[in-house]
Amino acid sequence: MAIVLSYRNSQTPAQMNWIALPLEIGLYGVVLDFWFYWYHRVMHDFDFLWKYHRTHHLTKHPNALLTLYADEEQEFFDVVGIPLMTYFTLKLMGLPMGFYEWWICQMYVVFTELAGHSGIRVCATPPSTLTWLLRYFDAELSIEDHDLHHRSGWKKSHNYGKQTRLWDRIFGTCHDRIELVKENIDYENTATIFVGLPWVKTLDQRERSVPIIGGNTLLTLNNQIQRHGPSIVSESMKAPELYKYLPFGPYPTLEDFERWYNHRITSTDGNLLYAITDLQLRPGEIAGVVGFSMGLLLQHALGLPPHGMGMRRVQWKAHPDNAKSVRAAERLGFIYEGILRWNMVLPQGKDGNDINVNKERIGNGVPGRHSVMLSFCCDDWEGESRDKLDLAMKR
């Protein structure tokens, strides 16, 4: 619509108002962000509007391919309504806003939209002629800001702006950054990427991400024991019940944890120690995060190539007393198969079955256990179970 209103076939690019262009570029992003801020915020604050925005929030850690992942109603306002209101506002302010000026301004907006949904972990701000002024008020946008917004979901969210943080600053919805605090940024390590974004500052980190699955990142961690081991040991020893149903642990010392890791993970092909990361997890939300992550793994395992691995069967094995684990699997669509009897020998001190394995059979009264077996197979995936999984992931 803005194209129809602004285009004149008698005007050439050379005739555009080059003097007003820098101001138009800067103000276009700020004004568009004002209209978008309130349109975006009311969809979060009012129940009857959230249904039009909910689909877009199914991805908690977005990537550029999911920028336009939304219902038709939201896309109409994103693509038509908000740009049109911005165009009229700048015209009322007395700016020329011819077709070519509008087109250039819109390219800045599109670039920022894609960058904000990229999931790239760098310190980078959108290119704008008013970045210097926004930075003065600590209102410039960074890639992390919109990523944090997606992690929050529905009501009482934050970071509603997508071109700046100006309106979030003014109206009190600006959330503190988690990664892009000054002490985390290596200002000496810069890189040149993309025309129009002359430099970025990379995070000083030892983590590297591997496959993006369904818009979320499954992280394997280089040097993970050195970096995360001490925290895992110290925090888990505060709650040793975490290991109640696991056939390993707890680990009183880092050396104990490293010994297990080297024996069970690094020495065996096919084993992977991974982390499900969410930097803004509220109390009581862990079940939803883990369930959603398991759903992503199922999509990756059972989906057909090239997007999935095309597997025939995924197994879920649980301690017979771990009813929560069994219920979680069934909510995702796993089908109960039965009890696999005496399939595990446990370390001393672990709760196994009531009757220990006879010492004449294995060691000296080593405990053992049965396992509850559930599965999600390819024919389930092609049937109703996939719909059940999708429904569970949308909660």
The model's pLDDT over 186-235, given as tens digits with 9 standing for 90+, comes to 666 665 444 333 333 333 333 333 333 333 333 333 446 676 778 888 88
Residue 315 exposed, middle or buried by CB count within 10 Å (0-12, 13-18, 19+): middle
Q: Is residue 41 part of a domain?
A: yes
DSSP string computed for 270-331: T----B---TTPPTT-HHHHHHHHHHHHHHHHHSPTTTS---SEEEEEE-TT-HHHHHHHHH
Task: Give the CA dihedral 278, 279, 284, 290, nearest 10 degrees.
Answer: 10
Assigned domain for 97 exists: yes
CB 129 within 8 A of CB 101: no
Distance CA 84, CA 31 (A): 11
Instruction: Tell me if 142 is assigned to some domain.
Output: yes
DSSP code at position 211: E
- Whether 138 and 11 share a structural domain: yes
User: Do 153 and 217 share a structural domain?
Assistant: no
Q: Mean pLDDT, to the nearest integer, of 112-140? A: 84
Q: What is the pLDDT of residue 209?
A: 36
> What CA–CA distance (Å, rounded) separates 143 from 125?
7
What number of residues does the chain have? 395
Least confident interval from 21-25, 253-257, 358-362:
358-362
Q: State the pLDDT at residue 354.
A: 58
Q: Looking at the domain assignment, is residue 389 inside a domain? A: yes
Number of domains in the chain: 2
Mean pLDDT, all residues of the chain: 78
Can you give the CATH number for the domain in which 279 is found? 3.40.630.30
SS3 83: helix
Tell me: pLDDT of 310 over 60: yes
Amino acid code (one letter) for 110: V
Q: What is the domain extent for residue 50?
A: 2-178
Does the residue 21 lie in any domain? yes
Whole-number pLDDT of residue 179: 77
148 and 286, same domain (yes or no): no
Same domain, 125 and 217: no
Q: Which two tokens stand for residue 286?
A: 């862990």
Q: ∠ CA 349-352-358 to the nearest 5 degrees?
A: 90
94 and 149 both lie in a single domain: yes
State the pLDDT at residue 203: 36
Same domain, 216 and 128: no
Domain for residue 193, yes or no? Answer: no
Of 119, 154, 178, the domain-final residue: 178
Specify whether 144 is located in the same domain as 215. no
Q: Is the pTM of this model over 0.85?
A: no
Pair (152, 217) in one structural domain? no
In a shared domain, residues 158 and 217: no
Q: Which amino acid, residue 368? A: G
User: Is there a contact between 342 and 362 (Cβ–Cβ < 8 Å)?
Assistant: no
Whether the CA torsion 95, 97, 102, 104 is positive or negative: it is: negative
Q: What is the pLDDT of residues 143-170, one digit of tens each?
A: 888 888 887 766 668 899 999 999 999 9
Say if residue 216 is in the same domain as residue 164.
no
> Does residue 248 register a pLDDT over 90?
no
Residue 251 belongs to some domain of the structure: no
- Sheet containing strand 313-318, strands side by side: 313-318, 368-377, 335-345
State whether the Cα torsion 250-251-256-262 is positive or negative: positive
Phi and psi torsions of 339, nearest 5° = -105, 125
Q: Which token pair is 184?
A: 């985390």
Together in a domain, 319 and 388: yes
Contact (Cβ atoms closer than 8 angstroms) between residue 389 and residue 292:
no
383 inside domain: yes
pLDDT at 15 over 70: yes
Side-chain-side CA neighbours of 59 within 13 Å: the count stands at: 22
Question: What are 270-281's pLDDT values in tens digits?
Answer: 666 665 555 455
141 and 16 in one domain? yes
